[in-house]
A = this chain, B = another copy of it.
Amino acid sequence: MNHAVLLLSSPDRRGITATVTNFIYEHNGNIVHADQHIDEQSNTFFMRVEWSLDGFKLGKQDIGKKFRPIAAKFKMRWDLSFSDQRPRVAIFVSRHLHCLHDLLYRHADGQLNCEIPLIISNHPGARPVAEHYGIAFHEILITKGNKRGQEKKEMELLKKNGIDLLVLARYHQIFTEPFVTAFEHRIVNIHHSFLPAFAGKNPYLQAFKKGVKIIGATSHFVTPALDEGPIIEQDTVRVSHRDSLDDLVRKGEDLEKVVLSRAVRLALEKKILSYGNKTVIFD
């Protein structure tokens, strides 16, 4: 069954929920999920509402048009999507392939409601798994001098494939600021530490040297400031002095897979609203 999802934020004031739900009701929509949140610090209202289009009296192409005056009145930022329009995802990966394997298996298993038309890597290693799942694989090598040129190629590939969301499944290259800015809130990364601890390189080695008793993984939107973007999801697992650095890596990779796949699902299902450096997650 086809659903519409409206995701919005605005300055908080009386009547927003009533107005939005009335809009749906008066066109005969049946709400199947609704959640809202008010951030008291910034007096911001956030809402996600999902309704069945079965019997809805507006066509998909008219909903946004009709909603626009309401959005204007309440000064909303808003996004309207439909469950039958599957987002198109590009996965970027380097040498560590566990997250890629995990995402592709989930996708084949029907857990991720999206298309994955291409995989981009700065290493050749992912080609066999891409081929096993029948997904186009592009090896785009990054060297010290060629990053801007290669990013241009990537941009063209993404555009040509109509990509909505970029997933960095342990992609160990830092995009330039223009690239990141072009895909604001549309690049989901997995960092292999419990951010803000151990940002930057070799987080497992940092954690091992520090002697922490718990390690973590963090999925976040990419922003120009490295490892500083809004956090979408995190998880942790216990370690001890018995764990070698290799054990930390192995335990951590299990976290990475789960944390990244949860974040990707949330993004695909339009359950994330960013504000400043934080996120509202309507799970």
Contacts and interface: CB of A to CB of B under 8 A. Distances in A.
B216 A214 contact: yes
Contacts of A37: 241-242
A258 interface: yes
Contacts of A235: 214
Nearest to A14: B30
Interface stretch (A20-28, A62-70, A136-144, A155-163): A20-28
Contact of A197 (B14, B196, B238): B196
A279 interface: yes
Nearest to A101: B105
Contact of A38 (B32, B109, B238): B32
Interface string A151-179: 00000000000000000000000000000
Interface of A is mostly: mixed
A201 interface: no
Contact of A21 (B17, B26, B280): B17
Instruction: Tell me how many chains of this kind the complex includes.
Output: 4
A35 B217 CA distance: 29
A230 interface: yes
Contact of A231 (B15, B212, B281): B212
Contacts of A283: 242
A10 interface: no
Contacts of A214: 194, 216, 234-236
Contacts of A17: 17, 21, 25, 31, 34
A101 B19 CA distance: 47
A234 B281 CA distance: 22
Interface residues of A, number: 63
A28 B40 contact: no
A254 B262 CA distance: 11
Nearest to A239: B234
B277 A211 contact: yes
Contacts of A234: 212-214
Interface of A: 13-15, 17-19, 21-22, 24-26, 28-40, 98, 101, 105, 109, 111, 132, 194-198, 209-214, 216, 230-236, 238, 240-242, 244, 250, 254, 258, 277-281, 283
Top 10 A-B pairs ranked by shortest CB distance? A211-B278, A18-B25, A18-B21, A197-B197, A213-B234, A17-B21, A15-B25, A241-B280, A18-B22, A236-B236
23 contacts: A14-B25, A17-B17, A17-B34, A18-B22, A18-B26, A19-B25, A31-B36, A32-B38, A33-B36, A35-B35, A35-B36, A101-B101, A194-B194, A194-B236, A195-B197, A211-B278, A213-B233, A213-B234, A214-B234, A214-B236, A216-B236, A236-B236, A241-B281
